[in-house]
Amino acid sequence: MAFGRSSRRKRPVEPVTLKILVAGGFGVGKTTLVGAVSEIRPLRTEERLSEAGRPVDDLVGVEGKSTTTVAMDFGRITLREDLVLYLFGTPGQDRFWFLWDELAQGSLGAVVLADTRRLEDCFAAVDYFERRGIPFTVAVNLFEGAERFPIETVRAALDLDPEVPVLLCDARDRSSVRDVLVAVVEDAMARADVPREPART
């Protein structure tokens, strides 16, 4: 029964853990982004709808497994033995938003991934974070074949506050995603002096 617990003698290190959310519309590249920097394959953790709050949900016309489980991507970046950053991809579909509140709690901030061909898909996420006073950074995922817009155009189209960082990224590219994450943490640092507004619901 006992499978050798090998590292018993050594007291394990208890890392400080931090989390960053990755939000955006369905199919905008959240899984790709998490996978580009995570040291583990994007793990998927599932919460069954029946026990996760039974949202009013019409199951008809929704195919296969997604009717019973909601997957959320997450990744881990071990910055140091005692400092670990977790990334959580928020569920794309609106009806799983009850999960967001928990994910958002205690997070450093969020990335809203946007696709300029379907910018409206990320309105809901922008709205959510604005309303709750959670700092977020907008990262425009540069899909091949998608028209490139200046950052200011994107900012205006999303009606963002001037302090919200907006940058272009390639969700497949490790260094590009790293730059996005650095922007999120820098933004959090800039706000560290100003106490954050308590979350409103």
Partner 1 sequence: MSAESARETPGSPRASAGAGSSRWYDAEAGPVVRPYAMTRGRTSSASRHRLDLIAIVVPEPAADDRGRDQTLSPEHVEIVELCSDMPQSIAELASGLDLPVGVVRVLVGDLVEEELVHVTRPVPPAELPDVNILREVINGLRAL
Does 163 contact partner 1 by CB under 8 A? Answer: no
Q: How many other CB atoms are found less than 10 A from the CB of residue 148?
A: 9
Residue with smaller CB distance to partner 1, 156 or 190: 190
Question: What whole-number distance in Å separates Cα of residue 46 and Cα of residue 71?
Answer: 5
Residue with smaller CB distance to partner 1, 125 or 177: 177
- Contacting partner 1 within 80-109 (CB under 8 A): 80, 83, 85-86, 88, 102-103, 105-106, 108
Number of H helices, E strands in the chain: 5, 7
> In angstroms, what is the minimal distance from the CB of 105 to partner 1?
4
Residue with smaller CB distance to partner 1, 60 or 150: 60
Beta pairing partners, 116:
none
C-alpha 58: how far from its chain's center? Answer: 26
Distance, first Cα to last Cα, the chain: 47
Q: Any idea which residue has 């069954």 for tokens? A: 48
From 26-34, 89-97, 144-152, 172-180, span contacting partner 1 (CB under 8 A): 172-180
- Contacting partner 1 within 43-72 (CB under 8 A): 43-52, 54, 56-65, 67-68
Q: Which of 146, 151, 156, 199 binds partner 1 (CB under 8 A)?
A: 199
Q: Which of 21, 37, 125, 139 binds partner 1 (CB under 8 A)?
A: 37
Buried b (16+ CB within 10 A) or exposed e, 50-87: eeeeeeeeeeeeeeeeeeeebbbbbbbbeeeeeebbbb
Does 186 contact partner 1 by CB under 8 A? Answer: yes
C-alpha 2: how far from its chain's center? Answer: 37
Residues in the site for partner 1, rule: CB under 8 A?
1-3, 5-8, 12-19, 37, 43-52, 54, 56-65, 67-68, 74, 76-77, 79-80, 83, 85-86, 88, 102-103, 105-106, 108, 174-175, 178, 181-182, 185-186, 188-189, 191-192, 196, 198-199
